[in-house]
Amino acid sequence: MKKEELQNFDGKDGRKSFVSNEGRVYDVTESRLWKNGKHAGKHFAGMDLTEALKSAPHGVEVLERFSHVGDVESMKEAKEKTEQESGLKETIRSLYRIFHPHPMLIHFPMGLINFTVIMQLMYYITGYPSFSTAGFYSLVTATVFMVPTIGAGFVSWWVNYGMTKNKLFMTKIIFSFILLAMCLLEIVLYFSAGDDGALYNVLLFANVPVLGIIGFNGGKLSWG
């Protein structure tokens, strides 16, 4: 079985749930802990769990209880590469567990963007330009924080999930970059058209649903 074929056994729409560890493929379809191809809210059928098992509360013996249905091609080479990277990866993982950079940083742009929208609403309600100005400074600060937040998110994706590609991760990544591009454009529009510009305000208030999509998928990743 090729790695690409393993990804087809994701436990969705009646498909079986297969996972692998160090090249061995296991059928976890009948396990209640892998309902709909998801385990503990952050592991998904069709994935290789070799790295995830290193930080799991249990060992490979749990997988050995399930049927061994095959092996993944080229996993030996992948294992050798993983062993070469393991020293650096374990160091980064240890630091990540201490500082939790992504969960810590994400609150800044989320809170600041919502504050920006509230300030703009207050500007239109009261007519005081100081509200809009405060909101703009908040927007700039949020945009600055977005860069390390997205970077920390990629680190988290690498050390915790092996950069596994699925709809949940890809949606979160795509909308994160959309939000960053929107905020950068809003800053440009503020200087060129002012805080009453139509496009500036449309994009500003559109930040909220885009941020909601990112937050929703992040919540599903953490809590299932």
Residue pLDDT, tens place only, 179-213? 999 999 999 999 999 999 999 999 999 999 999 99
Domain boundary (26, 44, 79) is at: 79
Q: Are 112 and 216 part of one and the same domain?
A: yes
Q: What is the largest CA-CA distance in the chain?
A: 68
The verdict on residue 153 lying in a domain is: yes
The verdict on residue 94 lying in a domain is: no
Q: Is the pLDDT of residue 80 over 80?
A: no
Q: What percent of the chain has pLDDT above 70? A: 92
Q: Is the pLDDT of residue 7 over 60?
A: yes
pLDDT at 68: 83
The verdict on residue 88 lying in a domain is: no
* Mean pLDDT of all residues in 79-106: 75
d(CA 108, CA 69): 46
Q: Are 60 and 159 part of one and the same domain?
A: no
Q: Are 108 and 158 part of one and the same domain?
A: yes
Q: Are 130 and 200 part of one and the same domain?
A: yes
Q: Are 9 and 46 in contact (CB under 8 A)?
A: yes
Q: Are 121 and 58 part of one and the same domain?
A: no
pLDDT at 82: 57
Domain of 167 in residue numbering reads as 100-223
pLDDT at 86: 65
**For the chain, how far is it from start to end, CA to CA, in angstroms?**
28
The verdict on residue 142 lying in a domain is: yes
**Residue 59 token pair:** 């060992």
pLDDT, tens digit (0-9, with 9 covering 90-100), for 138-159: 999 999 999 999 999 998 888 7
Q: Which amino acid is at 157?
A: W
**CATH number for the domain including 8?**
3.10.120.10
Q: What is the CA radius of gyration of the chain?
A: 22
d(CA 110, CA 105): 9
Domain boundary (79, 110, 128) is at: 79
Q: Are 9 and 68 part of one and the same domain?
A: yes
Q: Residue 17 phi/psi, 5° resolution?
A: -110, 110
Domain boundary (48, 79, 110) is at: 79
The verdict on residue 86 lying in a domain is: no
pLDDT at 150: 96
pLDDT at 187: 97
Q: Are 141 and 62 part of one and the same domain?
A: no
Q: Are 156 and 52 part of one and the same domain?
A: no
Single out the residue of 176, 1, 27 nearest to residue 105, CA to CA. 176
Single out the residue of 89, 77, 80 nearest to residue 52, CA to CA. 89
Q: Are 131 and 51 part of one and the same domain?
A: no
Q: Are 148 and 69 part of one and the same domain?
A: no
Question: Which band of pLDDT confidence, cut at 50, 70 and 90, is reported for residue 75?
Answer: low
pLDDT at 200: 97
Contacts 24+ apart (CB under 8 A), 93-97: 93/55, 93/159, 93/160, 96/155, 96/156, 96/159, 96/160
Question: Which band of pLDDT confidence, cut at 50, 70 and 90, is reported for residue 77?
Answer: low
By CB neighbour count within 10 A (0-12 exposed, 13-18 middle, 19+ buried), where does 201 fall?
Answer: middle
The verdict on residue 87 lying in a domain is: no
73-82, 87-96, 112-121, 139-148: which has the minimum mean pLDDT? 73-82
Q: Are 213 and 150 part of one and the same domain?
A: yes
Within 10 Å of residue 45's Cβ, how many Cβ atoms?
26
Q: Are 111 and 219 part of one and the same domain?
A: yes
Q: How far is CA 123 from CA 83, 109, 203, in A?
A: 57, 21, 16
pLDDT, tens digit (0-9, with 9 covering 90-100), for 21-68: 888 888 888 888 888 888 877 788 888 888 777 767 677 778 888 888
Helices 129-161, 167-193: axis angle to 10 degrees equals 150
Q: State the total domains in the chain.
A: 2
Q: Residue 123 phi/psi, 5° resolution?
A: -60, -45
